[in-house]
Amino acid sequence: MDERYGVDASQDIHDVDWIREASERGEFLLTKDVHIARRPEEARVVHMCDARVFTITNQAISGPEALRRLLRNEVAIFRWTARTRAPFVLGVYEERVNRLEIRYP
């Protein structure tokens, strides 16, 4: 976020805006916010923009640990992206990945 919007501005970007912008660019979204699939506004934009979201399921872990989770689950993540149509929110746990329900519509 800081790289795209700048350090100061990134704190003021609403979730629905960055989700929409990244999805329009065809990017995969990476977050530590599992509620992205549950909050009405965010779930709606994930659904409407065909977002492809990976969420680390523990906000308290460090960046290096989040990276380890992604690498540990790399094969499963690639499998999901190859066979699953957008929109989706995939929870990345320590030893597994699970699709999270998007609560929209």
Question: CA 89 → CA 16, 19, 20, 24, 54, distances in Å?
Answer: 15, 12, 14, 16, 6
pLDDT tens for residues 10-52? 889 999 999 999 999 999 999 999 999 999 999 999 999 999 9
**For position 2, what pLDDT does the model report?**
87
**For position 1, what pLDDT does the model report?**
85
Q: Domain coordinates of the chain in residue numbers?
A: 2-100
